[in-house]
Structure 1
């Protein structure tokens, strides 16, 4: 069983979602949905999200994948990154703030280990996140810290330029202004 020490629940995952995505996402993730539900962990940096909601709201923001063309949104980060499950390659972080992507491995348990070893923050170039929490407070479940202005629009990567914004709307705005990130 996957253990998430600092999980903060937001809501249970409805049985219909579990049934709809069973066989499409890793069994480990199904187990997390059943045992933990939607919520945050990693000191608020990662959040387990409703894949159906994110497919409906930002599915067109995911972009073309290198593998089999399937990308199911399963998590977000506190910096507005979207983490997808792509069966042919594993977990992929789409970092809209940087216009880049990062492979995160094939197992959910591996993600947890990377998070515990602080490798995940480094891989996602997210070392600024703890400072943002210290300066601006913890994030609500559906918000992320977003650079204002966006880095691609001349913003600087400083804590004082991070603002709490709705995650879904922020992804939509980033794609509207910067375009889709291929991966």
Structure 2
């Protein structure tokens, strides 16, 4: 039986049905030490206990930031975020959504690579109050199966059907649309392929300049609607 580090992980793993883990890759102590002070201690605790692994049958993957550093740079270098914080990819979905942590801004960016969109979210206040560990545990406990999925053109979710048709994902794979959506591809089951995640995400980054969406929280604060 897997050891539960805390109640939030137990909620994610058991109550929300993301367990069991798969394709777990052990994280070395040298890796843990490299990120100490850069990423929250709670995330490093999860890494140490569970490794870099997939959950929800591969809907969500807890990632090694080093493997996605070039991908992240390719997506951010044309945006206002480049150079403003030290960012790390700490998770990704089966369809190539990247979950990004900033040393100063917390879980402040989500990159929807298939659609070429970046969603910012203001978490700097929480970080200034020293609540990085709380943000990490809430991020994991708040994970939703459907939000990690992708819908086809009839708004029917694709993951279960893709897994049945193409087989389960390995830890370095994702389901990608071929041709890519940015190149005129279609959101259909027969357009999906099992592809290498890093290579496909790098390819997508070359297709389109990412569109940065409105940060709703920041917008509300700037207008004095939320303190």
TM-score w.r.t. the length of structure 2 is 0.69
Distance in 2 (CA, whole Å) between partners of 1:89 and 1:68 is 13
Pick one of 16, 27, 47 that aligns with 1:33: 47
Measured in 2, the distance between the counterparts of 1:111 and 1:53 equals 21
**Unaligned stretches of 5+ residues in structure 1:** none
Q: Distance in 2 between matches of 1:40 and 1:18?
A: 19
Q: Find the counterpart in structure 2 of residue 113 from structure 1.
A: 141
In structure 2, the partner of 1:97 is 114
Q: Which has the larger radius of gyration?
A: 2
Tell me the matched-pair count: 180
Q: Show the 5 A alignment for 1:59-70.
A: 59-63=72-76, 64=79, 65=81, 68-70=84-86
| Residues 69/149 of structure 1: CA separation in 2 closer, same or farther (3 Å cut) | same
Distance of aligned partners of 1:121 and 1:46 in 2 relative to their CA distance in 1, 3 Å threshold: closer
| TM-score of the two chains, using structure 1 as the length reference | 0.83
Pick closer, same or farther for the CA change 1:180–1:16 going to 2, 3 Å: farther
> Please, what is the CA RMSD of the aligned residues?
2.7
Q: Contact 1:114 / 1:120 at 8 angstroms: preserved in 2?
A: no
- Per mean C-alpha deviation after superposition, the further-off stretch among 45-54 and 27-36 is 45-54
Report the Cα offset of residue 181 of structure 1: 5.1
After TM superposition, which residue ranges in structure 1, 4 or more long, deviate above 4 angstroms? 103-106, 180-183
Shift of 1:180: 4.4
